[in-house]
Amino acid sequence: MSLVDLMTMATPNFGSREKILAKLCGRELVNCFQCIKCTSGCTALKLLELKPHEIMKLVNLGFVDELVSSDIIWTCATCLKCVQRCPQKASPYHVIVALRNLAVEREAKVPGRYLKAVSQILETGLAEACRKIVTRKMETVDRECLGLPKVSKPKENFQTIFMKAMEERP
Amino acid sequence: MKTAVFWGCCILTDQLGYEMSVRETFPRLGIELADLRESVCCGDPVKSVNDFAANYLGARVLALASQAGLRDLFVPCNRCHFTICEARNIIEQNQKAGQKIKELLKEEELEYNPDIKIWHTINLLHDHIGLEKVKKAVEKPLKNLKMASHVGCQIIRYSDLGRVDAAESPYKLDELIRALGAEAVDYAEKLDCCGSALMHSHLDSALSLSGCKLKALQALNVDGLIVSCPDCGLMFDARQKDTATIVGAKLNVPVLYYTQLLGLTLGIDEKKLGLHLNQSPIEDLLAKISA
Asked if A125's CB is within 8 angstroms of B40's CB, the reply is yes
Domain boundary among B119, B141, B172: B119
pTM of the shown model: 0.97
pLDDT above 60 for A62: yes
Give the residue from A23, A38, A43 with the most B CB atoms within 10 Å of its CB, the best one to mutate: A43
Domain boundary among B119, B153, B184: B119
Q: pLDDT-derived band of residue A28, with 50, 70 and 90 as boundaries? A: confident
Measured at the CA of A87, the angle between CA A25 and CA B121, to 5 degrees, comes to 75
d(CA A108, CA A27): 25
Do the domain assignments include residue B127?
Answer: no
Q: Is the same domain home to B145 and B268?
A: yes
Do the domain assignments include residue B26?
Answer: yes
Query: Mean per-residue pLDDT for A95-115?
Result: 96
Q: Give chain B's domain count.
A: 2
Do the domain assignments include residue B124?
Answer: no
What burial letters (b/e) apply to B181-198, b meaning 16+ CB within 10 Å? ebebbebeebbbbbbbbb
Is B13 touching A (CB cutoff 8 A)? Answer: yes
pLDDT above 90 for A65: yes
At B133 the pLDDT is 98
Range of the structural domain that residue B171 is part of: 132-290
Q: Is the same domain home to B114 and B142?
A: no
Shortest distance between the Cα of A12 and any Cα of chain B, in A, equals 24
- Read off the DSSP letter of residue A30: G
Q: Is the same domain home to B164 and B220?
A: yes
Q: Of A49, A63, A50, A53, give the one whose Cα is nearest residue A20.
A: A63
Phi, psi (degrees; rounded to nearest 5) at B184: -115, 120
CATH number at residue B266: 3.40.50.11810
Give the residue from B16, B51, B67, B189 with the most A CB atoms within 10 Å of its CB, the best one to mutate: B51
Is B167 touching A (CB cutoff 8 A)? Answer: yes
Q: Is the same domain home to B238 and B110?
A: no
In the three-class reduction of DSSP (H, G, I as helix; E, B as strand; rest coil), residue B75 is classed as: coil
Q: Is the same domain home to B178 and B219?
A: yes
pLDDT above 60 for A79: yes
Asked if A143's CB is within 8 angstroms of B97's CB, the reply is no
Q: pLDDT-derived band of residue A7, with 50, 70 and 90 as boundaries? A: confident
**ipTM exceeds 0.85:** yes
Is A45 touching B (CB cutoff 8 A)? Answer: no
In the three-class reduction of DSSP (H, G, I as helix; E, B as strand; rest coil), residue A72 is classed as: helix
Report the C-alpha dihedral over residues B247, A111, B150, B146, rounded to 10 degrees: -30
Asked if B195's CB is within 8 angstroms of A77's CB, the reply is yes
pLDDT in tens, B129-138: 999 999 999 9
According to DSSP, the residues that pair with B33 across neighbouring strands are: B3
Do the domain assignments include residue B62?
Answer: yes
Q: Are strands A140-141 and A133-134 parallel, antiparallel or unpaired?
A: antiparallel
Q: Is the same domain home to B39 and B155?
A: no
Query: Mean per-residue pLDDT for B23-43?
Result: 97
Q: Of B168, B180, B255, B169, give the one whose Cα is nearest residue B211.
A: B255
pLDDT above 70 for A1: no
pLDDT in tens, B35-60: 999 999 999 999 999 999 999 999 99
Shortest distance between the Cα of B87 and any Cα of chain A, in A, equals 13
Asked if B52's CB is within 8 angstroms of A47's CB, the reply is no
CATH number at residue B51: 1.20.1050.140
pLDDT above 90 for A2: no
Q: What percent of chain B has a predicted confidence (pLDDT) above 90?
A: 99
Do the domain assignments include residue B125?
Answer: no
Q: pLDDT-derived band of residue A3, with 50, 70 and 90 as boundaries? A: low
Instruction: Please classify residue B235 by burial: count the beta carbons closer than 10 Å to its beta carbon, then call 0-12 exposed, 13-18 middle and 19+ buried.
Output: buried
What residues of chain A lie within 8 A of the CB of B46, using their CB?
Answer: 117-118, 121, 127, 166
Q: Is the same domain home to B108 and B158?
A: no
Q: What percent of chain A has a predicted confidence (pLDDT) above 70?
A: 98
Q: Is the same domain home to B200 and B229?
A: yes
Q: Is the same domain home to B44 and B187?
A: no
Q: Is the same domain home to B79 and B170?
A: no
Q: Is the same domain home to B85 and B64?
A: yes
d(CA A149, CA B16): 11
Domain boundary among B88, B119, B150: B119
Do the domain assignments include residue B144?
Answer: yes
Do the domain assignments include residue B178?
Answer: yes
At B282 the pLDDT is 98
Do the domain assignments include residue B126?
Answer: no
Q: Of B236, B122, B118, give the one whose Cα is nearest residue B179.
A: B122
Is B181 touching A (CB cutoff 8 A)? Answer: no
**By CA distance, what is A165's nearest residue in B?**
B53
Q: Are strands B224-227 and B255-257 parallel, antiparallel or unpaired?
A: parallel
At B275 the pLDDT is 98
Contact B221, B182 (CB under 8 A): no
Shortest distance between the Cα of B281 and any Cα of chain A, in A, equals 9
Q: Is the same domain home to B115 and B252?
A: no
- Read off the DSSP letter of residue B200: G
pLDDT in tens, B209-247: 999 999 999 999 999 999 999 999 999 999 999 999 999
